[in-house]
Homo-oligomer: A and B are copies of this chain.
Amino acid sequence: MSPVCFAPDSGGGGGASTPAPWGETKVVGARLPRVDAYERVSGSAVYTLDLQLPGMLHAAIVRCPHAHARVKRIDTAKAETMPGVRGVLTGESPGAAIPWYQGREGPLSLLFDPHCRHEGEEVAAVAADTALQAHDAARAVVVEYEELPFVVDPDKALAPDAPKVHDWGNLLGQPRVTTRGDVAAGFAAADAVVEMTFRTPVQMHTPMEVHVSVAQWDGDRLTVWDSTQGVYAIREALAGALKLPLASVRVVGHYMGGGFGSKLELGKYTVIAALLARRLGRPVKAALTREETFLVAGNRPSNVITLKAGAKRDGALTALEARLSGPVGAYPTSAVSAYQIGDLYTCPNVKFETTNILIHAGKARPFRAPGFPSCNWALEQVVDTLAEKLGLDPVELRLKNIPTVSQLNDNAPYTSTGLARCLTEGAVAFGWTEARRRPKTAGHLRRGVGVAAGMWGYGGDPNATAIVTLYADGSVNLNTGASDLGTGTKTVLAMVVAEELGVAPDRIQVEHADTATTKFAPSSGGSQTVLVNSPAVRAAAIEVKRQVLEIAARQLDKPVGDLAVADGAVVVAGAGGKRVPFSELKGLGERRMLVGVGMRHPHPEGKLALPFAAQFAEVEVDTRSGAVRVLRVLAAQDSGRVMNRLTFNNQVFGGVVQGLGFALTEERVLDRATGKMVNANWHDYKVPTMLDSPAEAECLPIDPHDTECNTVGAKGLGEPAHIPAATAIANAIHDAVGVRPLEAPVTPARLVALLAAQERKG
């Protein structure tokens, strides 16, 4: 017998070499419904929020109601005697003095910090028999605050007399400047130059499932069920916070209701659940209320972006210069990004400066393509304006500047760039030329079309390990550490196994996202899930297939080369070839199961594999009310191979709708007088509903048949599907009514004001 395991990176050892890329596939790419669709729609799926453990208590968190305050005194006496209350936790409780937010010189904050730097900061916590009892008791905790001056307006935060968020001031690092070539020379060589200043909103993640953890101790070992995007990241942070060995912390994240980046890091609620569970000897669930998530679960920071661009008459960009700044809250873990300005288009002369400003508000956190939609909002409106100035079709100008290398990464070549095809084929599918020719006006309702391109800049973690196990009856277990945020990860990875092993997807069970039972997979974020894990899963399946064929070759007395797998059987080559179901392979039965371990094949050294997109939108603007309806969207996506056409569509439509929210409706509003968020709920914070969504949305996958990016040919999708959506709508609005919506969201009030100003200008 040969080794049980496959290792792609073996140097002449037992592992196979890198497998050949797929050509035509049978299962991969199909419109396969989710393998867990029944559970998800029937309500039988147990999300972390649904989890009930015997004896489980419920936590509620006492939060600072001020934008900036110092806790002077906490009186928990009343709360402790309230019905059902089992315990109260404050910063003074044993083991609760846990350092939290890390600054350059170490932690700057505590789990329960008496210095509260934003509304909603954690002050104490209560555990009670029911969630309502816990919230009642949390309200009964008496906290005496010294209110402090605050700053929530980024435009004022850098003033010398502005209240400081942290000791060193309100700048997170110094403004960072990136340059390439000579922008002055570039602008001098330009036939047209445009400069504009844009404002983008603070957008909230608002996943369907709120942030929630359940903690349970078993001796010195901690198990946490967490609604997370990455069980391994949470485990590492949690073990660090509680000073436990990694092996003693188990993080499980099964059914999960979305994250969009806000569930990549450890939440204080998770640590609070663990501390209460340890103290009280019972499992504890800590679930944020919807309202709490708006205050503490993170956001996409707003940006102010001034962008100047120059181009030759033919559309070739000569220079791009930008200043970007944004308020990243009090404890940021995300920042503004000018990546796309540097890399979406070929441009020899580029300069950009990014500034991250601290304010007394909830933290910036990675949010679906951190920095990219904001940056795109500026870049793709400026490019459109340049096209207008030069009398070029917006698609034409973009096609003039298609990159084949990453200028921000030493001109490393892309394994593929489908951007030109996204633009040209997208334009055809959308009917771009015809639509541009149509008259804009129909009374007060005006229609317009817009396009925006985009790219995403992350190629994924180099590590991922998967285990595939074939059982004696031909059914399969797929073991992967990857989280499925609701995007279909389980389905796609099962299809990879089905493709390679020739078994039906419904005979494949997926064990996933559990640090005690799976091997490492990076967090499901950065659009890396499919491209990082699929090659690992494929490698594991190939190793199992190798063992199957070896066993079959012995049983059938045929060379391995004459054998293949299909439909749960080994098939002998040639007409009328014999077919032996896996369940009849004696050697498989004897060995009980065959096990293959696979690891990721990172993309080829010196090259980058990144996805591109071009999205087209048609809108109807009501010039009386300022209301914008998005009539239709076509999203042309170069994300490499389509793994599952249904999940592909879902990702794209979701990205488009979230972009629609960014463009038209979503915005955190902070009250300048109190520093408090005034729309911290789903009534006042406007997430698009089905009624707001485009009536028509089409998804056009552009597959460049990339055989270099990895062994499955897939690139990232979740983020590039979202990045250009808002800007395509902005450009369509401009096309419809002739005003340039510099500030997002383009609410009716803002658009009416723009139209009024246009009318005044005449």
Contact = CB atoms under 8 A, between A and B. Distances in A.
Interface string A527-554: 0000000000000000000000000000
B514 A517 contact: yes
A218 B36 CA distance: 9
Nearest to A521: B592
Given A9-B1, A44-B281, A475-B248, A519 B14 contact: no
Sort chain A's interface into a size bin: 35 or more
Contacts of A44: 217-219, 281
Nearest to A515: B477
A508 interface: yes
A106 interface: no
A38 interface: yes
Interface in A8-46: 9-11, 13-15, 36, 38-39, 42, 44-46
Nearest to A247: B475
Contact of A246 (B39, B462, B471): B471
Given A3-B15, A52-B54, A247-B508, A595 B595 contact: no
A1 B5 contact: no
Contacts of A236: 472
A516 B517 contact: yes
A174 interface: no
A212 interface: no
A517 B518 CA distance: 7
A507 interface: yes
A670 interface: no
Interface in A484-536: 506-509, 511, 514, 516-520
A2 interface: yes
A497 to B, nearest CB: 11
A245 interface: yes
B517 A511 contact: yes
Interface string A435-475: 00000000000000000000000000011010101011111
Copies in the complex: 2
A7 B5 contact: yes
A509 B219 contact: no
Nearest to A254: B218
Contact of A5 (B4, B38, B281, B462): B4
Contacts of A247: 471, 475-477, 507-509
A519 B593 contact: yes
A293 interface: no
Interface string A206-229: 000000000001111100000000
B4 A465 contact: yes
Interface string A240-275: 000001111010000000000000000000000000
Nearest to A13: B14
- Kindly name the residue among A9, A465, A590 whose own CB sees the greatest number of chain B CB atoms within 10 A: A465
Contact of A520 (B5, B220, B508, B592): B592
A492 to B, nearest CB: 18
A201 to B, nearest CB: 36
A597 interface: yes
A285 to B, nearest CB: 12
Contacts of A597: 4-5, 595, 597
A255 to B, nearest CB: 9
Given A4-B5, A7-B14, A44-B281, A219 B473 contact: no
Contact of A3 (B5, B45, B246, B281): B5
Contacts of A465: 4, 593, 595
A684 B471 CA distance: 45
Q: Which 4 A-B pairs have the closest CB atoms?
A: A5-B5, A14-B14, A13-B14, A517-B517
Interface of A: 1-7, 9-11, 13-15, 36, 38-39, 42, 44-46, 52-54, 217-221, 232, 236, 239, 245-248, 250, 281, 462-463, 465, 467, 469, 471-477, 479, 506-509, 511, 514, 516-520, 590-593, 595, 597, 599
Given A245-B475, A519-B595, 8 more contacts: A1-B9, A1-B10, A1-B11, A7-B14, A52-B54, A248-B507, A463-B590, A514-B517
